[in-house]
Amino acid sequence: MLPDLDGLEACLHNKAGDVKLDARFRALFTLKGLASLSEDRKEQIIDIIGGGFDDDSALLKHEMAYVLGQIKDTYALGHLRRVLADEKEHAMVRHEAAEAMGAISSTEALPVLEKYLNDSDVSVRETCDLAIKKIQLDNSPEGQKEQILKEQRDKAHGDAIDAAARASAPIDPAPAIVDVKNAKDTDNVYSLEHVPEFRATFLDPELPLFDRYRAMFALRNTVQQGDNDAQIAAVDALVAGLKDQSALFRHEICFVFGELCHPASVAAMTKVLDDTNEHEMVRHEAAEALGGVLEDAENLENSQSEALRTLQRWATDSEAPRVVRESCVVALDEMAYNNDPTQFQPMDSIVA
């Protein structure tokens, strides 16, 4: 039996006034899962999520915008346009709305995104530029050719489990590099051999941000698909990118580490979270990344124990930016919830 939408809406919108933030997050991702299972209720689900943008938590609204993009339905564009157009809204939420338009990848969104290429906030400007380039590539013969090549390689190197994981994987703000010089259509290009090429593109500040993002996701794929040496080299390259001048770029690196949950990222993510001079958007992603790594850890090593203490410290620091504090709180609450044997199952697992 599928969950009741009215109950999920009440939880997400905190109609009772006492719903914890981590429970609201679980309701949101349950709605995301239901949207993929129930085509006839998809628009209703989108409206439930879109109706939550009057909340006072920028972190939750940012996540709502992200989910609307991941549902990948043009019906969500109206909600996302309103968020992007609201210059009083937190820049992190507006950025995520623009990125979500890119995830949906409809040319219908191009005029709106182009309007904010000169926005006062740099993260919004950069995100709109990325989204425009992604939509243009996705809808071009070149992009379609790359997609076919990607599918050929996935088929050549994957199995049924890998295929299921790919089907549920997040939509990236830029597709990973697939066309590597001298590589055959059936080659796995995400190997140690190609890390130097990906790294050079990723770290070159003179290149367009879109190209560097593509290299970033190629490095992520290398961590996921390469051998141990390739993983170490790719993680090292990603850590080196944390010195970049673009906060948006640094935040995406932290998001990638959150996807990977790789133990080698713990020290770097702890350092980012602890840096009070770092942009709150970057620190928020670092907190979520640490939560993911620590949840996967059976026995905490010294660096992981320090990371846990760092999350606990910033979760209770009243001087920390709210999005940082809430990110730490949610990460810790989710760890406690998912490791609690008295919980029958995580809410969103019923639609996995």
Structure token pair of residue 5: 């939408």
90 is an annotated ligand-binding site residue: no
Q: Is 252 annotated as a binding residue?
A: yes
Residue 62, annotated as binding a ligand: yes
Q: What is the DSSP string of 98-144?
A: HHHHHHHT-GGGHHHHHHTTT-SSHHHHHHHHHHHHHHHHHTSHHHH
Rounded CA separation 327/60 (Å): 10
* 96 has binding-site annotation: yes
Specify the residue for token string 């919108």: 13
Query: Which of 254, 71, 107, 103 is CA-nearest to residue 174?
Result: 103
Q: Which of the 8 DSSP states describes residue 14? A: T
- Say whether 79 counts as a known binding-site residue: no
Q: What is the CA radius of gyration of the chain?
A: 20
The DSSP element (H or E) to which 292 belongs, if any, is helix 280-296
- Are the C-beta atoms of 95 and 127 separated by less than 8 Å? yes
Q: Is-contact 149 156, C-beta < 8 A?
A: no
259 is in an annotated binding site: no
Question: Which 3 state secondary structure label does DSSP give 339?
Answer: coil
What's the one-letter identity of residue 130? L
* Residues in CB range of 259: below 8 A, 6 or more apart: 170, 220, 292
Contact 91, 124 (CB under 8 A): yes
Place of tokens 């790294």: 199
Give yes or no for a contact between 40 and 2, defined as CB atoms under 8 angstroms apart. no
Q: Is 279 annotated as a binding residue?
A: no
Ligand-binding annotation for 63, yes or no, is: yes
Q: Within 13 A of 240's CA, how many CA atoms are on the CB side?
A: 17
Nearest to 261 by CA among 167, 199, 331: 331
Question: Residue positions in the annotated binding site for Fe cation?
Answer: 62-63, 95-96, 251-252, 284-285
Question: Residue positions in the annotated binding site?
Answer: 62-63, 95-96, 251-252, 284-285
